[in-house]
Amino acid sequence: MRRIIHLDMDAFYAAVEQRDNPAYRGKPVIVGGSPTARGVVSTCSYEARKYGVRSAMPLREAGRRCPHGIFLPVRMKRYQEVSAELMAILHDYTPLVEPISLDEAFLDVTGSEKLFGPAEEIAREIIDRVESELGLTASVGVAHNKFLAKVASDLQKPHGFVVVDPDKVEAFLAPLPVRRLWGVGPKTLEVLSELGIKTIGDLQATPYERLRYRLGEAAAESLSRLAFGKDESPVVPEREPKSIGHEVTFAQDTADRYFIEAVLLELCEKAARRLRKKAQLARGVTLKLRDAGFKTITRQTTLASPTDLEEIFYENVQRLFSQVKWDGRPLRLVGVSLSGLERKENEQGRLFAEKEDELRRLHQAVDRIRDRFGEAAVTRGRLLHRYGRKEEKKG
């Protein structure tokens, strides 16, 4: 029987802010930006949640609910540093660590029990180290598969510790709302509600054929297995990202094409720089636009050969932008993502390689200058100042 631990940090971004600034401890901390901004809450402390503030809530709504809250910008670089320390602790117990995000991971400790003791003891030791070494708290679930461990870790947050007895799985799941099952989104939840299914226990008691008739074979099979706690998915360590991207939400909607194109160029530049740092190339380019009415348009294209040069990405983004039926409507958000990633050492010989290599050497020199002196050390004349833009999100 496998032994899986799911670890989920408690209010990670807000907890890091409270740790780094003791004056924030015990107070409602809301990470995401100003309460007058148009963004959303990234994370909030448990003190803020008492006022009804939640992740993904508009910052303005959070400001109305908790006007005395401490609103802070996202310090992604800092959270990544702390996440690296967290992952180092987890790797002390097993090489089978699957990060889900900066503050969440699965661990397969089946083969580690001979060295460190039962999975429950390993989990206890990990959360004790997280608290003593990082000054943060975490919630964990321990079970014989990933699904059950994930459900368990979420039941008693913050500082939760739940172990699932393999002989009592059905009883453990039965009282929980059906939305806790993987794959149950708004549409599936609506269908299940129409069938009178509100809890996982309701689903356990529903004839399979009835589910299959309403949901289809694949969904019915998946939900039925999960309802009885069956999940064979393995812990997959350190997967390479499938795409790299950046997007920007403007402080004010804009229809200024010159400004929008300048922002898109900067996004291409940032994404290409990340590729070069990882010694990767990308073959796919995707443009994302969202207007003031929250209508989102995406367009994508595939390059003839993979590259890490922003000029090529931007040329294709411009072409995609020109094909969109935009009609000059003010835009709220723009984004660029690169996909079809591959290692640079696998690159095939191609035409015009000498010219591209010369351009790449120039970019690598600029990258080194920025690494040493900061992003603003070298800028393009084509790029506009950040004034007028609210926030940036990495993908």
pLDDT confidence bin for 50, thresholds 50/70/90: very high
CB 388 within 8 A of CB 250: yes
Residue 51 neighbours by CB distance under 10 Å: 17
- Rounded to an integer, the average pLDDT of 279-302 is 89
- What is the structure's pLDDT at 214? 87
Residues forming CATH 1.10.150.20 domain(s) in the chain: 169-227
- What is the structure's pLDDT at 387? 35
Percent of the chain surpassing pLDDT 70:
86
CB 172 within 8 A of CB 188: no
According to DSSP, the β-strands at 331-339 and 243-254 are antiparallel
- What is the structure's pLDDT at 70? 97
- Rounded to an integer, the average pLDDT of 340-353 is 62
What is residue 8's three-state secondary structure? Answer: strand
- Please tell me what DSSP assigns to residue 341: -
Q: What CATH number matches the domain at 169-227, 3.40.50.620, 1.10.3720.10, 1.10.150.20, 1.20.120.330?
A: 1.10.150.20
- Rounded to an integer, the average pLDDT of 354-364 is 61
pLDDT confidence bin for 295, thresholds 50/70/90: confident
- Rounded to an integer, the average pLDDT of 102-123 is 95
Whether the per-residue pLDDT at 384 is higher than 50: the answer is no
Residues annotated catalytic, as ranges:
104
**356 residue type, one letter:** E
Residues forming CATH 3.30.70.270 domain(s) in the chain: 1-165
- What is the structure's pLDDT at 163? 97
- Rounded to an integer, the average pLDDT of 282-305 is 89
- What is the structure's pLDDT at 357? 61
- What is the structure's pLDDT at 60? 93
CATH superfamily, with its number, for domain 1-165:
Reverse transcriptase/Diguanylate cyclase domain (3.30.70.270)
Residues forming CATH 3.30.1490.100 domain(s) in the chain: 243-394
Residue-by-residue DSSP string for 175-226: TSBGGGSTT--HHHHHHHHHTT--BHHHHHTS-HHHHHHHH-HHHHHHHHHH
Q: Greatest CA separation found in the chain? A: 66
Whether the per-residue pLDDT at 170 is higher than 90: the answer is yes
Whether the per-residue pLDDT at 390 is higher than 60: the answer is no
**What tokens appear for 286 in the block?**
């995707």
Rounded Cα–Cα distance for residues 126 and 112 (Å): 13
- What is the structure's pLDDT at 252? 86
- What is the structure's pLDDT at 87? 94
Rounded Cα–Cα distance for residues 386 and 395 (Å): 20
Which CATH fold topology does 243-394 show? Dna Ligase; domain 1 (3.30.1490)
